[in-house]
Amino acid sequence: MTAIAAAEVIVTSPGRNFVTLKVTTADGVVGLGDATLNGRELAVAVYLADHVIPLLIGRDAMNTEDTWQYLYRGAYWRRGPVTMAAIAAVDMALWDIKARYAELPLYQLLGGQSRKGALAYGHASGADTEQLFDSIREHLDLGYKAIRVQTGIPGLDSVYGVAASKAGDGERYDYEPARRSASGRALPVEEAWDTRAYLRHVPTVFEAVRNEFGAELPLLHDGHHRMTPREAAHLGKSLEPYDLFWLEDCTPGEDQDALRYVRSQTTTPLAIGEVFNTVYDFQTLITERLIDYVRAAVTHAGGITHLKKIADFASIYGIKTGFHGPTDVSPVGQAAHLHLDLALHNFGIQEYMRHSDETLEVFRTSLTFEDGLLHPGEQIGLGVTIDADEARKHSYEPAYLPVNRLLDGTAHDW
């Protein structure tokens, strides 16, 4: 038996907040798991420290499946992002440990190498077409072979996915990290939203991008759960001439039935799932083939054990993966994605936003990005270590994701 001797939660904020679980066996082998839930980080940290770590001590670190079931079924209160992020962190750490004992990079335990590397897509954005074109060119120069396109909307000050635009309070920001309002109080920034303006503008932007960059480049777009089924169907139809790789999260995540209507109206490929927590959130979508890509994240969908089940279930229906990989997935979580991406037959694409240098000083990762492809590297385990001294230098800073309101003030999905 390979007993778990200790486990510790590390909260650090090298540019943005991350929660990491560090599990150590009696032999001193260390595994890491990502437990970051953007904007609600400490809920998972406390869940782990108070309710999970006491259960881990003395358990056999090799029993990834039984430990997963024990934490999932044993909680009685199943699912939800806090519980599933906590289970995910334990699961990743135990897979890391297993691969370290085997002295193999993790992908070797998940099926070996099915491809040279994982096709990655990067995030290009611009408040206007000129800025967007510059951003696309920058991404092409960095080697990206697939690009997500997010654009400013005339009449709106700040729009999801558009980097360094003006927030409602006038501060400049990169859109991805949760952030503080200008007053310094940890209150969410509020943004204004107009779906009709968005639906009118987005197809014109894709037309301009296709005219400038040609028909070949795979282009993606994220609707961030803001549309009704009719609005999403309309957008899907109006984007058909521009041959998208996918339209992501077009309708709210809770409503699997919504995609039935969208699917019946448009051939634009559909992807969803970054806010999903279990395979059950995908059940209708997969069995009725309402989507083309599962977008779950290893951090919020129960770790490697459960994400592999989602991917395998999807594979039976010809549905591919496109795991969620913004910078709120830490280098530990991103490494877990990459080991799966390399091994799974039904891999589709991997989202990739490079972490900041500050983050990469805390998390040392063997990940490489070359010629548009990501690779987790050949180090044993996940291939990531955490520098505890560096981590201690960056203390937690409360921050929230923005809140969205329609022009009349009604709260809307962000």
CB 275, min distance to ligand KDG, A: 9
Q: Which of 15, 269, 326, 333 binds ligand KDG (CB under 6 A)?
A: 326
Distance CA(28)–CA(150), nearest Å, equals: 46
Using CB under 5 A as the binding rule, whether residue 222 contacts Mg ion is answered as yes
Judged by beta carbon distances under 5 to 8 A according to partner kind, the member of Mg ion, ligand KDG, none in contact with residue 181 is none
Distance CA(232)–CA(271), nearest Å, equals: 12
Query: Which 243-302 positions form the footprint of ligand KDG (CB under 6 A)?
Result: 274
For residue 57, what are its two tokens? 């001590």
What SS3 class is residue 39? Answer: coil
Judged by beta carbon distances under 5 to 8 A according to partner kind, the member of Mg ion, ligand KDG, none in contact with residue 231 is none
Using CB under 6 A as the binding rule, whether residue 125 contacts ligand KDG is answered as no
Q: Which residue has the tokens 């962000």?
A: 414
Task: Calculate the alpha carbon distances from 282 to 275, 277, 315 in Å.
Answer: 11, 9, 13
Query: Which 378-407 positions form the footprint of ligand KDG (CB under 6 A)?
Result: 401
For residue 41, what are its two tokens? 């980080």
Judged by beta carbon distances under 5 to 8 A according to partner kind, the member of Mg ion, ligand KDG, none in contact with residue 320 is none
224 is an active site residue: yes
Using CB under 6 A as the binding rule, whether residue 219 contacts ligand KDG is answered as no
Residue placing its CB nearer to ligand KDG in the complex, 91 or 274 = 274
Which of 293, 292, 314, 310 shows the shortest CA–CA distance to 301?
310
Using CB under 6 A as the binding rule, whether residue 91 contacts ligand KDG is answered as no
Q: Maximum CA pair distance of the chain?
A: 62
> CB atoms < 10 A from the CB of 218, how many?
16
Distance CA(279)–CA(294), nearest Å, equals: 10
Query: Which 262-301 positions form the footprint of Mg ion (CB under 5 A)?
Result: 274
Q: Which of 328, 377, 386, 399 binds ligand KDG (CB under 6 A)?
A: 328
Using CB under 5 A as the binding rule, whether residue 41 contacts Mg ion is answered as no
Which of 122, 124, 128, 176 shows the shortest CA–CA distance to 152?
128
160 is an active site residue: yes
* Catalytic residue (choose from 107, 121, 144, 160): 160
Instruction: Give the chain's length.
Output: 414
* Catalytic residue (choose from 139, 224, 300, 339): 224
Phi, psi (deg, nearest 5) at residue 372: 85, -5
CB 411, min distance to Mg ion, A: 20
Which residues sit at the interface with Mg ion, rule CB under 5 A?
A: 222, 274
The catalytic residue positions are 160, 224
Contacts with ligand KDG by CB under 6 A lie at 38, 222, 224, 274, 324, 326, 328, 351, 401
